[in-house]
Structure formats: structure tokens, C-alpha cells
């Protein structure tokens, strides 16, 4: 009887260990309201709670994504396209994520300027242990009537110089919540993505970019959106 009890306890312990999840995302359901820009992002912080390096793979469910939108997921600057038909996570190289590390996870759609609501779901999992996984979703609401605030109307934020030849600096407490900064040309083409670190100061570089007008789009952790129109002169 004691032997049977010991076996049961060991089995339960092994089962608990096997079901432990290594991955945590700061938000498993996000909503992004955006104007029909060429590329729209949602950001999250993915954590590997395990001490071990993980071969992270991604599976996407696009059954509720409009055919006009293309989907990808990015670990830092490394992006993987997600396909509707025959998408096999094992045909993509895994992303090697160090133990006890945090990575900027970016879900994106190429809108082709199509206005629609797309709801992709993603599963990140350990390629060597597929049961060690995390599933999450994003709602992308792409509409010409989406709420985007002109950052010049936010009294607590300053920016300048504008016009500029090289950089524009934004300052204000609001900026600590910014997780994405994208620079677009006026035809909606994404020109540059700028990283953020939770600071109340964000420097947006325009070096190497031609003279003209650009839109800087800033998105927050709460999926609020702010816009600034910048003139670059040479």
C-alpha cells in the first residue's frame, strides 16, 4: 500500500512539473484601434520564467482575419509571417529565448489600407515540449474613424524641433506608457520603427530621410494612439 502511495505521489509531482508553463505575456487579449496605416502593430512583453533556453515556435489561427490583411509576429526585429493555409510552425526556424529573459513581442498586420476588424490568435510554445505553451489574441480595428489624438493637443507633452533636420524629441509623463513609435511617409508607407524603454523622453531620429512631411504614430500600453506631423528639411 505504501509503495502504491509513493508511486501515486511521484506521478502527481511529475504531472505538475510537466504542466508548468514557462511563458507569460503582460496581456493575453489586446485591442488596437488604428487608422488604415500600411502596417499596424500590437506590442507585448513575453517572459520566459524557466531557467532553460527555449526553442520558441509560433502557431497562428487566422480564421477571423479578413483576407485583405496579412499577419506576422516578431521577436524584437525578427519577424515570421503567419499563413492561412498549411502553416507549419516547424517549417520556420525557432526563436531561441534565454532562460529568465524578457522579449519585446510584436504582432502586426499589413492592412493594404483595407478597413476591417481582424482577430488573429497566436500560440507560442516550446518546440521541444509543445505542451509548454501560451495562447493569446489581438483585435485589430482598422477604420478611418478610429480615435487618434494629435499629440500637440496634449498639454503635458512637448516636442521639437519641428521642422527638423535630424531628430525630434518628445517629453512628458505620458510617454512612459508608449510602447510603439512608427514613422510613416504621407502616403502611408512605414519608414522607420523606433524602440522605447518606458522613459518620459523619446527621441525620434530622421537622419537619412528625405525632405518632406512625415507622420509619427505613438501607441500606448492601453492601445491609445497619438499622432504628430513632422516636417523634415535639408
CATH code for the domain in which residue 36 is found: 2.60.40.10
- What count of other Cβ atoms lies within 10 Å of the Cβ of residue 17? 8
Please tell me the predicted confidence (pLDDT) of residue 18: 40
d(CA 58, CA 23): 12
In a domain, 68, yes or no: yes
Domain boundary among 106, 127, 142: 142
pLDDT at 190 (0 to 100): 79
Q: What is the pLDDT of residue 219?
A: 85
Per-state percent for the chain, helix, strand, coil, to nearest 5: 10, 50, 35
Report pTM: 0.68
CB 219 within 8 A of CB 151: no
Of the two residues 186 and 98, the one the predictor is more confident about is: 98
- Looking at every residue in the chain, the average pLDDT score rounds to 86
Is the Cβ–Cβ distance between 36 and 182 less than 8 Å?
no
State percent of the chain over pLDDT 90. 59
Of 8-17, 149-158, 169-178, the one with minimum mean pLDDT is 8-17
Judge whether residue 1 has pLDDT over 70.
Answer: no
> What is the structure's pLDDT at 20?
61
In a domain, 62, yes or no: yes
Confidence at residue 14, expressed as pLDDT on a 0 to 100 scale: 39
Q: Report how many domains make up the chain.
A: 2
- Whether 41 and 25 map to the same domain: the answer is yes
Task: Mark whether 122 and 208 lie in a shared domain.
Answer: no
> Residue 210 above 70 pLDDT?
yes
Residues 164 and 126 in one domain: no
Domain limit, last residue, from 142, 167, 185? 142
On whether both 136 and 183 belong to a single domain, the answer is no
Q: What is the pLDDT of residue 7?
A: 42
Q: Quick check: is 78 in a domain?
A: yes
**What pLDDT shows up at residue 8?**
42
More confident: 167 or 44: 167
CA atoms within 13 A on the CB side of 227: 16
CB distance 228 to 215 below 8 Å: yes
Domain limits at 212? 149-232
- Per-residue pLDDT tens over the stretch 6-29: 444 344 333 333 446 899 998 777
pLDDT at 155 over 70: yes
Residue 9 located in a structural domain: no
Amino acid at each position: 500500500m505504501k509503495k502504491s502511495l509513493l508511486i501515486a505521489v511521484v506521478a502527481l509531482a511529475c504531472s505538475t512539473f510537466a504542466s508548468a508553463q514557462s511563458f507569460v505575456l503582460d496581456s493575453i487579449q489586446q485591442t488596437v484601434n488604428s487608422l488604415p496605416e500600411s502596417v499596424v502593430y500590437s506590442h507585448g512583453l513575453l517572459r520566459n520564467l524557466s531557467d532553460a533556453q527555449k526553442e520558441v515556435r509560433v502557431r497562428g489561427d487566422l480564421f477571423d482575419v479578413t483576407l485583405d490583411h496579412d499577419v506576422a509576429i516578431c521577436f524584437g526585429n525578427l519577424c515570421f509571417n503567419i499563413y492561412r493555409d498549411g502553416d507549419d510552425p516547424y517549417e520556420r526556424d525557432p526563436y531561441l529565448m534565454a532562460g529568465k529573459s524578457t522579449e519585446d513581442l510584436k504582432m502586426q498586420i499589413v492592412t493594404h489600407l483595407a478597413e476591417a476588424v481582424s482577430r488573429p490568435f497566436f500560440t507560442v510554445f516550446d518546440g521541444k515540449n509543445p505542451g509548454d505553451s501560451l495562447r493569446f489574441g489581438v483585435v485589430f480595428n482598422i477604420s478611418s474613424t478610429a480615435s487618434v489624438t494629435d499629440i500637440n493637443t496634449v498639454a503635458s507633452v512637448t516636442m521639437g524641433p519641428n521642422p527638423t533636420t535630424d531628430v525630434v524629441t518628445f517629453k512628458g509623463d505620458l510617454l512612459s506608457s508608449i510602447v510603439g513609435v512608427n514613422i510613416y511617409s504621407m502616403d502611408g508607407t512605414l519608414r522607420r520603427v523606433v524602440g522605447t524603454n518606458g522613459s518620459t523622453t523619446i527621441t525620434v531620429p530622421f537622419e537619412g530621410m528625405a525632405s518632406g512631411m512625415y507622420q509619427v504614430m505613438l501607441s500606448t500600453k492601453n492601445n491609445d494612439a497619438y499622432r504628430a506631423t513632422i516636417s523634415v528639411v535639408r
